[in-house]
Amino acid sequence: MIWTRPHLLGLQDLGREEILCILDLAASFKEVSSRSIKKVPALRGRVVVNLFFEASTRTSNSFALAAKRLSADTMSFTSSGSSVSKGETLIDTARNIEAMGVDAFVVRHSASGAPHLLAKHLQCSVINAGDGCHEHPTQGLLDIFTIRETMGRIEGLRVAILGDIRHSRVARSNAWGLTKLGARVVFCGPPPLIPRGIKECMDVEISHDVDEVVESCDVLNCLRIQFERKAGNYFPSVREYAAIFGLNGERMKRARPGCIIMHPGPINRGIELTPELADGPKSVILRQVENGLAVRMAVLYLCVGASRGHAVGGDRDEGRTE
Ligand code: CP
């Protein structure tokens, strides 16, 4: 296919073929990470900047390493210690850094729509690394990649997304992407943590019965309770939440034999799921992190290197080591 998008702002915007294009390209980039020289020259001379206004461990480091594996120059901006503390706006901050000759911003922000705003005001590519409670498209893509790699398909699977749906950009990106590829998605959690009306916007099922969901699903993707967004105000106690909605060994006895457990991280161990499940044989949590690198290489390559209308899968040089 011909990739023409300079930005990746969400999976709601993407078509099925575009999602498959990213996943297939990520599979070929994953092979690069198994080589002795884990680097290709695809983005040599390009500049990729991490612009993070919210904390991150996985996404920021994964994008930074992905850009380096593609031979791009990288810069990292965090709002603490910057001129944001003197009142500089988001747009002014980004435009001033862009003036240094930037090709792409990877943006995380607590405000939903912040990357979309930047995409309107900047010349360079903008990739959403998580905006408020809206979308986290590369997390959705790496989750879908991991499900496809582990289960061999997406079509026809029943995927449960468990927990704090209300505050979760991961839930939204997963649901958009998975349903476009033919999976059935069920959001499961306490009623106050599932936004009213979400079924009218997305093709998802709603459940409040974790045991039923554990029995009937192929994938259990547990979400972090976002205490920093006051999610703790939506249920009486953490102990009660863990007992009624958390995954534990007893509950998993009902699960299908090939069922996998996922979590985007960071984990509240003992709340969303017990440590023995997080570290156990059904868990693919670290494989999600591993796959995130390949997915982000594919996204950077497509948006920064191929978005000028080049065919993907033709004479790209991502397979050639330096
Ligand atoms: N999954 C995820 O977005 O993790 P970080 O907040 O550490 O980037």
Q: 87-91, 228-232, 296-300: which has the minimum mean pLDDT?
A: 228-232
Q: Does position 236 have pLDDT exceeding 90, yes or no?
A: no
Ligand 1 centroid–CA 311 distance in Å is: 31
User: What is the number of the ligand 1 atom nearest to the C-alpha of 57?
Assistant: 7
CA angle 105, 225, 276 (to 5 degrees): 105
Nearest CA to ligand 1 atom 1: 264
Q: What is the pLDDT of residue 80?
A: 87
Pick left, alpha or beta for residue 190 (phi over 0 → left; psi -120 to 50 → alpha; otherwise beta).
Answer: beta
Domain covering 16-135+292-320, topology: Rossmann fold (3.40.50)
CA angle 272, 277, 280 (to 5 degrees): 150
Mean pLDDT of 179-196: 96
Is 183 in contact with 159 (CB distance < 8 Å)? yes
Residue 102: how many other CB atoms lie within 10 Å:
21
Ligand 1 centroid–CA 322 distance in Å is: 30
pLDDT band with cut points at 50, 70 and 90 for residue 88:
very high
Candidates 52, 53, 57: which one to mutate for ligand 1, based on the most atoms within 8 Å of Cβ?
57
Which residues line the pocket of ligand 1, CB cutoff 6 A?
Answer: 56-59, 130, 136, 139, 264-266
Q: What is the pLDDT of residue 228?
A: 82
Nearest CA to ligand 1 atom 5: 56
Domain with CATH 3.40.50.1370 in the chain: 16-135+292-320, 137-287
Is 154 in contact with 181 (CB distance < 8 Å)? yes
User: What is the number of the ligand 1 atom nearest to the C-alpha of 108?
Assistant: 8
Q: What is the pLDDT of residue 289?
A: 98
Q: What is the pLDDT of residue 1?
A: 86
Ligand 1 centroid–CA 130 distance in Å is: 8
Summarised one tens digit per residue, pLDDT across range 271-320 is 999 999 999 999 999 999 999 999 999 999 999 997 665 556 544 444 44
Pick left, alpha or beta for residue 49 (phi over 0 → left; psi -120 to 50 → alpha; otherwise beta).
Answer: beta
The pTM (predicted TM-score) of the whole model is 0.94
Candidates 50, 52, 54, 56: which one to mutate for ligand 1, based on the most atoms within 8 Å of Cβ?
56
Average pLDDT over the chain reads 94
Ligand 1 centroid–CA 291 distance in Å is: 14
User: What is the number of the ligand 1 atom nearest to the C-alpha of 54?
Assistant: 6
Q: Over pLDDT 70: what percentage of the chain? A: 95
Ligand 1 centroid–CA 165 distance in Å is: 16
Q: Which amino acid is at 268?
A: N
Burial class (CB in 10 A: 0-12, 13-18, 19+), 45: exposed
Cβ neighbors of 265 (< 8 A, separation 6 or more) are 57, 58, 224, 285, 288, 289
Ligand 1 centroid–CA 262 distance in Å is: 13
CATH of 137-287, one of 3.50.50.60, 2.60.40.1180, 3.40.50.1370, 3.30.230.10: 3.40.50.1370
pLDDT band with cut points at 50, 70 and 90 for residue 223:
very high
Nearest CA to ligand 1 atom 6: 56
